[in-house]
Amino acid sequence: MNGSAISYSLRELVERFGGEIVGDPEVRVSSVATLENAGPETIAFLANLRYLRLLAATQAAAVIVAPAQRDVTQKPCILHEQPYLCFARVSALLSPPRQVEPGIHASAAVHPEACVDAGAEIGAYAVVARGAHVGRGSIIGPGTTLGENARVGSDCRLHAQVAVYEGCMLGDRVIVHSGVVIGADGFGIAFEGDHWIKVPQVGRVRIGDDVEIGANTTIDRGAIDDTVVEDGVKLDNQIQIAHNVHIGAHTAIAACTGIAGSVHIGRYCRIGGAVGIAGHVSITDHVEVSGHTSITKSIDKPGIYSGVYPFEPNREWRRNAVHVRHLAEIVRRVAALEDGLAQLARSRS
């Protein structure tokens, strides 16, 4: 909730973010709200017509709607081709993050050989190890740990209890939520006789600019080469990213997805919740994967991919999976056979 007294008129919002005003352009708003819970001086939005019934009763001072919904309400409106995008920008304007309070908390442990910019904030009980770097305007939250030679760029926000292991690198304007672990060892083990041998994980994690990482997500360091998350990637909560994964710029991945080692995901992909991606596959740019889908082989064409299949003994699953892959062809062949039998029956009658 925005606790400040700042407010903007609809005219000022349109000047910043575009759109068209219907109604009084001097109506002022100071916070955002849902249609259902809006009050005076709030602005809401309608992007899905299933919520149209809530619009009649909303107490919002103004609403953001698509041009096609120009006449659905008598309230002042901002007409925008992408109402939710406009709402997001307005929300960010009205609910800015708190300002950085430069300095190092008395209880923090910062190694003398660490480099912390004078404009950075280091929270209570945070640890910044030898050789670590924290850029200007960044906040290292309470209890967060930066390992040796870890690097955090400028204007980053690392919330409480984040762990960034040694040598890992974060770009500028990265947001990392609580419980995230960046750079833990990948699951590298080799079986010898009757026991497992650990394979040293000597790579790093490299994260680009403008990345957001949700709570309790884990990103393993590379076994030899680095695990890479490119610019603008958005990761939800509780995602597992294994060693040597490469995620292309501006890809978004929803919660509880598991990505096995050495997977390469392209740019501008959208991965739904609880997706499983098998190791060593590649997914090209502009691919959308529906929730709960299992990706077991590479995808080389953009598009939407879906698939939920009940489990069964592996040998049967493999046999049936082959048939499912050709199901459309089988259906066409059965239909042709049925048509031929029908014609044969008619010719004999």
Does residue 25 have a pLDDT over 60? Answer: yes
Residue written as token pair 């609580």: 178
Distance in angstroms (rounded) separating the CA atoms of residues 16 and 63: 16
Residues 269-325 pLDDT 10s: 999 999 999 999 999 999 999 999 999 999 999 999 998 776 678 888 788 888 888
Return the pLDDT at 5.
Answer: 63
Distance in angstroms (rounded) separating the CA atoms of residues 99 and 107: 21
Return the pLDDT at 320.
Answer: 84
81: left (phi over 0), alpha (psi -120 to 50) or beta: alpha
What rounded mean pLDDT belongs to the chain?
94
Which amino acids are annotated catalytic?
243
Sign of CA dihedral 331, 335, 340, 344: positive
Maximal C-alpha separation, the chain: 98
Provide the pLDDT confidence category of residue 2 given band limits of 50, 70 and 90: very low
Q: Which amino acid is at 84?
A: Y
Residues 6+ apart with CB under 8 A from 312: 320
Return the pLDDT at 310.
Answer: 64
Is it true that domain 8-94 has CATH number 3.40.50.970? no
Provide the pLDDT confidence category of residue 1 given band limits of 50, 70 and 90: very low
Calculate mean pLDDT across residues 10-28.
97
CATH domain 103-305 topology: UDP N-Acetylglucosamine Acyltransferase; domain 1 (2.160.10)
Does residue 4 have a pLDDT over 60? Answer: no
pTM: 0.87
Sign of CA dihedral 325, 330, 335, 338: negative
Per-residue HEC secondary structure of 288-336 comes to EECCCCEECCCECCCEEECCCCCCCCHHHHHHHHHHHHCHHHHHHHHHH
Return the pLDDT at 348.
Answer: 85
**Higher per-residue pLDDT: 1 or 196:** 196
Q: Which amino acid is at 32?
A: V
Return the pLDDT at 297.
Answer: 92
Q: Answer yes or no: same fold for 8-94 and 103-305.
A: no
Residue written as token pair 């199901």: 327
Calculate mean pLDDT across residues 255-262.
98
Supply angle C-alpha 100, 103, 105, rounded to 5. Answer: 110
Return the pLDDT at 308.
Answer: 74
Does residue 150 have a pLDDT over 50? Answer: yes
Task: Give, as one character, the DSSP assignment of residue 27.
Answer: -
**Lowest-pLDDT choice from 9-18, 244-253, 317-326:** 317-326
Q: Dihedrals φ, ψ of 323, to 5°?
A: -65, -40
Provide the pLDDT confidence category of residue 122 given band limits of 50, 70 and 90: very high
Q: Are 32 and 42 in contact (CB under 8 A)?
A: yes
Cβ density class 229-261: b for 16+ within 10 Å, e for less: bbbbbbbbbbbbbbbbbbbbbbbbbbbbbebbb
Domain boundaries, the chain: 8-94, 103-305, 314-348
**Higher per-residue pLDDT: 344 or 63:** 63
Return the pLDDT at 323.
Answer: 84
Which spans in the chain are helix H?
Answer: 10-17, 52-55, 83-94, 314-325, 327-348
Return the pLDDT at 144.
Answer: 98
